[in-house]
Amino acid sequence: MNMIENPDQAKRLARAILSDVAMYNKEKVENGIKNDNIFEVLQEELEEGRQHFLSRVSTDINPEVIYGTAVVDVLIKRAGKIESSIW
């Protein structure tokens, strides 16, 4: 399998991976936002997604930053409607 070297393609992959994490873990996401511990609650799922992402993306395009940005965009920003003390 070819490594992704295009930053836009890498961003799409990261968002797709994190959309799946969010979709298959709706209750965990909601509880994690409500209790301000989303990263602890989803630690295993986020790491699995991260490892998959890193296995597909070239290190030349700074994949850690791309994945981290997608975590915020997909999991945190989309959860803005969930009642929480952090907003």
Q: Alpha helices of 1-87 — where are they, by DSSP H?
A: 7-24, 26-34, 38-41, 43-56, 63-70
Tokens of 32: 């994690």
- pLDDT confidence tier of residue 1, bands split at 50, 70 and 90: confident
pLDDT digits (tens, 9 = 90+) for 11-67: 999 999 999 999 999 999 999 988 989 999 999 999 999 999 999 999 999 999 999
Question: What pLDDT score was predicted for residue 77?
Answer: 77
Query: Residue 82 pLDDT > 90, yes or no?
Result: no
Which amino acid, one-letter code, is at 26? K
For residue 57, list its beta bridge partners: 4
**In the block, residue with structure tokens 């395009």:** 61
Query: For residue 67, which of 23, 11, 22 has the smallest C-alpha distance?
Result: 11
| This prediction's pTM | 0.88
Q: What are the structural domain ranges in the chain? A: 7-81
Which amino acid, one-letter code, is at 27? E
For residue 4, list its beta bridge partners: 57
